[in-house]
Amino acid sequence: MASVRNRRRQLLVAACLVPLGAGCAQAPSAARVDDSSSARELRAVPRRAGTRPVVTIYEFRSAVPEVAPGAAQEMFVTALIKSGAFAVAERQRLAAGVMRERQLAAQGVSSGGATGQVAAARYVFEVVVSEANAGASESARGVDIGGMRVQTGSAADSIGMDVRIVDANTGLVVDAVNVVKKIEASSTSVTGVGNLLQRLSGMRGKDLPLPLDAESRSSRKEGVDRALRSCIEVAVAELARRLNDD
């Protein structure tokens, strides 16, 4: 009978320790093409036949310190191209890229046909990361079982952006959209496992042969850049659909 009790105690200890070490030997994740819900929404935009309107971005502004305007603008250009609804004209690095290549062609250094005028943009996008709400909501829960404490918590920030389309011929704002997204975070911790095991052993009139304790903590939070990209993709998808409906 004693051997059976010892075996049960060993199984209980193993059951408590295995989850704690399960994440220690995880294989590195592989790179993959973004397949988030916002990316799928962008890919689902109907492709309209005919010439796509030429668009450009001159300035991407941010009122949120965590958002780097340069990187955010690159995300926006990527979303415009992925939508299949727009032809994007380069403006920010025109001198460093397109104009340099045209100079090489004009000098006979390259054999390309980089001549003629640069495509004029029909629409200009104006983008502002306009809001961020840190700590929009927060909650915490805990339970104590025989000295073992299990705590969980969740929190949500939010980020928002405004996008306007300006007609380059008239200077009029022809459309606009604003998008808001929550940035969610969660955490879990388990402490005092040894307390619970000691109490269970004490209920049987026994003590653990060795002091034993374990704890586990984990947390997850969506990055600001990931949330911003989602906002951008949703905004571009919405504007592309509206363009197709015109």
Helices (H), the chain: 2-21, 37-43, 69-83, 98-106, 193-203, 224-245
Q: What is the pLDDT of residue 205?
A: 66
CA–centroid distance for 196 within its chain: 39
Per-residue model confidence as pLDDT tens digits over 175-191? 999 999 888 777 888 88
> Exposure string (b/e) for 50-87, b if CB count within 10 Å is 16 or more?
eebeebbbeebebebeebeeeebbebbbbbbebbebbb
Per-residue model confidence as pLDDT tens digits over 83-123? 999 998 876 655 555 556 656 556 555 555 555 566 788 99
Per-residue model confidence as pLDDT tens digits over 26-54? 667 788 888 889 999 988 888 878 888 99
Per-residue model confidence as pLDDT tens digits over 197-227? 677 776 676 766 666 666 778 877 777 888 8
For the chain, give the longest Cα–Cα distance. Answer: 95
The pLDDT-based confidence of 18 (bands split at 50, 70, 90) is very low
Q: What is the pLDDT of residue 32?
A: 86
Per the model's pLDDT, the better-predicted residue between 205 and 16 turns out to be 205
Superfamily of domain 49-245: ABC-type transport auxiliary lipoprotein component (3.40.50.10610)
Q: How many beta carbons lie within 10 A of that of residue 45, not counting itself? A: 19
Please report, for the chain, how many H helices and E strands are present, in that order. Answer: 6, 6
